[in-house]
Amino acid sequence: MVTIEANNRVLEANEGETVLSALRRHGISVPTLCHMSDLFPSGACRMCVVEVEGMRSLVPSCAYPVANGMKIQTHSPRAIRARKTIVELLLANHPDDCLYCVRNGSCQLQDLSENLGVRERRYTGGRSLHDLDVSSPSLVRDPEKCILCGKCVRVCEEVQSVSAIDFIGRGSHTKIGTAFDGGLNVSSCINCGQCVVVCPTGALREQSHIKQVLDALSNPKLHVVVQHAPAISVSLGEEFGLKPGIDVAGKMVAAFRRLGFDRVFDTSFSADLTIMEEASELVHRVKNGGVLPMMTSCSPGWIKFVEHFYPDMLPHLSTCKSPQQMMGALVKHMYAERQGLDPKSVFLVSVMPCIAKKFEAQRPEMGTHGIPDVDAVLTTRELARIIRMRGLDLGGFEPEVADDPFGERTTAGKIFGASGGVMEAAVRTAYHMLTGEELAELEVKAVRGLEGVKEARLNVGGLEVGVAVVNGLGNARKLIEAIRAGRSDLHFIEVMTCPGGCIGGGGQPLGASRDNIRARMLGLYRIDGDESVRVSHKNPMVQRLYAEYLGEPLGERSHHLLHTHYTHRDVLL
């Protein structure tokens, strides 16, 4: 430990840590724009500069190490003046359209302008003009709002190992773009939206489906159905001032009904259905010498990652559709048929924590005879905007329950929202399928938590099964390379595209810390611990669905509705 002095306070710091890290641990706030706490500091934006006694220049606190006896002033007149100048220079080349921007009220550049007292334009000059990139089904890229902080580039390359975007051009012509400056649709982008999560301005945002949904709700000829993903209920409350991890499922269902949806279904139901099919597929592969390890197929960003970078691993992917798409197939077929509805008149809206779900819903494989399984996808943020737009008070609603036949779930389906949840739910049911008995301890603690890679060895009826859980595609790449190199001790692998799983998805509330994501995870596990039906194969409505409509897992009708295929995609390099 070393001793430093900051703003006339004596503090202890760890030898070798940065000034910014030491200050934040002691509750001293220093503004940043480019800093990413889990990555090596770049010191690019200089917003975090502080004054150190004895040094002629201001130093970037995010990249400067502490030293014993160091005396620091974080908000000296000189430091504040430097920060204000940086913001003023950024604004000199920034569009004046805050009232129209999706990040109005949640923009870091806007917040810094307010906090530093920027009240006039001191610098003027010719603005850089760029075209809007709307080519992606999931993302919109607005280079004119980009401040070149580089966070999107870093998360894409260093966390997700996709490298779909980078700095291109030189000097004042520098911008962030794709290979050959093409659209995102012809890049290696996997639509995860982690770039949106870290972007401090409105340079990156999701493709909005709000207008389509509102138009559908006002169309009397359409029967509008909504489904909500397992992770939504423990994150939506943050948009309305509630603590992360608070379950608002019942209030959210009430809000859906006030918005005018004809039916409200729970995607956790189709998560249970996914487990029935996926566990059956795993058991079939194990018993019949199928391709192992089998890898989950719930996360569309992960699927596109394999299609781009590891097409030789496609046979390892489960053929199961994601819970979103399984629900879509059931609504457009079984539900429409039994309600006497033309599938073309049924409009299905998904509320998802994931921007890549917008891409997944538009895949040509995800529909029948030109009718898509899912018509529109809202992120958690978009749902909150609609609720506020309609003047509804989420906290004031009495909880309500989702509708039959797809509203009943188990907690196994609910924990899908956290990294390790799919694996845990699948293990609970696969064990039952192989042994005819229930797991004595349903909590598979080895696969819980936010670690990037978690592994376990499970004894299932005398067979030792190796399982791995991965979140973040950089971690997935390392594991795939190990399998390519000959590793053969794993039978089943769960991969979630985003750090923490769906709870940390690209469509979730912005500004979430790792503690927020952990709180969402714990919220899902509290639900699992509090309820009685905790295995997917005991969901009575799933049992009834197989008895009355699907037949059996992996059967002909199940295969037609609930399974799909994937294909090799070229990468433009």
The model carries a pTM of 0.95
Q: Is 5 a catalytic residue?
A: no
C-alpha span between 368 and 385 (Å, rounded): 31
Q: Is 365 a catalytic residue?
A: yes
Q: Averaged over 119-147, what is the pLDDT?
A: 92
Contact predicate 222/263, CB 8 Å:
no
* Secondary structure (3-state) at 547: helix
Q: Which of 238, 239, 277, 278 is catalytic?
A: 278
CA distances from 487 to 128, 402, 484 (A): 50, 44, 7
Q: Is 277 a catalytic residue?
A: no
Find where tokens 């992917």 sit: 317
C-alpha span between 359 and 387 (Å, rounded): 24
C-alpha span between 223 and 521 (Å, rounded): 34
Q: Which of 298, 320, 354, 498 is catalytic?
A: 298
For the cut 90, the answer to whether the pLDDT of residue 572 exceeds it is no
Find where tokens 């329950």 sit: 401
Helices (H), 289-355: 300-309, 323-330, 336-339
> For position 236, what pLDDT does the model report?
98
> For position 127, what pLDDT does the model report?
80
What is the pLDDT confidence band of residue 383, given thresholds at 50, 70 and 90? very high
Q: Averaged over 110-135, what is the pLDDT?
A: 92
Two tokens, residue 411: 């907690």
Q: Where are the domains of the chain?
A: 2-89, 211-562
Long-range contacts formed by 112-115: CB under 8 A, 24+ apart: 112/31, 112/33, 112/47, 112/83, 112/87, 113/87, 115/31
For the cut 70, the answer to whether the pLDDT of residue 79 exceeds it is yes
Q: Which of 114, 365, 531, 548 is catalytic?
A: 365
> For position 573, what pLDDT does the model report?
46
For the cut 90, the answer to whether the pLDDT of residue 96 exceeds it is no
> For position 570, what pLDDT does the model report?
79
Q: Averaged over 403-431, what is the pLDDT?
A: 96
Other CB atoms within 10 Å distance of the CB of residue 98: 16
Q: Which of 360, 382, 424, 494 is catalytic?
A: 360
Q: Is 318 a catalytic residue?
A: yes
C-alpha span between 176 and 87 (Å, rounded): 19
For the cut 60, the answer to whether the pLDDT of residue 264 exceeds it is yes
For the cut 90, the answer to whether the pLDDT of residue 463 exceeds it is no
Q: How far is CA 459 from the centre of its chain?
A: 32
> For position 462, what pLDDT does the model report?
82
Of 142, 131, 128, residue with least CA distance to 93: 128
Residue type (1 letter), 102: V
> For position 231, what pLDDT does the model report?
98
For the cut 90, the answer to whether the pLDDT of residue 528 exceeds it is yes
Compute the 3-state secondary structure of the chain and give helix, strand, coil in percent, each to the nearest 5.
40, 15, 45
Q: Is 357 a catalytic residue?
A: yes
CATH number of 211-562: 3.40.50.1780
The matching CATH number, chosen from 3.40.50.300, 3.10.20.740, 3.20.20.300, 3.50.50.60, for 2-89 is 3.10.20.740
Q: Which of 145, 357, 414, 454 is catalytic?
A: 357
C-alpha span between 236 and 379 (Å, rounded): 10
> For position 460, what pLDDT does the model report?
82
CA distances from 329 to 266, 267, 460, 550 (A): 14, 12, 32, 12
The widest CA-to-CA distance across the chain, in whole angstroms, is 80
Q: Which of 251, 502, 536, 558 is catalytic?
A: 502
C-alpha span between 43 and 60 (Å, rounded): 6
Q: Averaged over 318-323, what is the pLDDT?
A: 97
Per-residue pLDDT reduced to its tens digit, 326-362: 999 999 999 999 999 999 999 999 999 999 999 999 9
Q: Which of 277, 281, 307, 408 is catalytic?
A: 281
Q: Is 531 a catalytic residue?
A: no
